[in-house]
Amino acid sequence: MSQEIPVRVFDIVGGPLCTSSDDGQLVHDRIAPLLRQGKRVALSFAQVDTVISAFLNAAIGQLYGELKEEEIRDRLALRDMAPEDLVLLKRVVENAKAYFKDPKRFTQAVDEEGA
């Protein structure tokens, strides 16, 4: 089993607030190449106080359009995440999986909901 590469969210975003998709994109851009190379990543949320879904969509959700679910599950370990943030992440992941399974249908359903 290969060793995990530690990646600290706090260091990437420069503080305890994970509230923008731009910051989430920075995290994604740091971890996605490692995951694609088959490396294991330990993504630490230590010292992070606030996480919102836009951040998680960019950081983690879009991985489901780039890698197989099994690859993400095997290679990405989340550390030091608050229980309420884990609940939010679960919802983000379920939405991402539904979206990438059938983007056209998902977008249509969202459009109809807003109509």
Return the minimum-mean-pLDDT range out of 22-26, 76-80, 100-104.
100-104
Q: Could you tell me if 41 and 73 are in contact, meaning their C-beta atoms sit under 8 angstroms apart? A: no
Separation of alpha carbons 2 and 10, rounded Å: 24
pLDDT reported for residue 103 = 72
- Phi first, then psi: give them for residue 68, nearest 5 degrees: -75, 150
What are the pLDDT digits (tens) for 50-86? Answer: 999 999 999 999 999 999 999 999 999 999 999 999 9
Separation of alpha carbons 8 and 110, rounded Å: 33
Which residues have CB under 8 Å from 104's CB, separation 6+?
none
Separation of alpha carbons 107 and 105, rounded Å: 5
14, 15, 16, 17 alpha-carbon torsion, rounded to 10°: -70
What DSSP designation does 78 have? E
Nearest to 43 by CA among 63, 28, 64: 28
Q: Which helix (H) or strand (E) holds 4?
A: strand 4-8
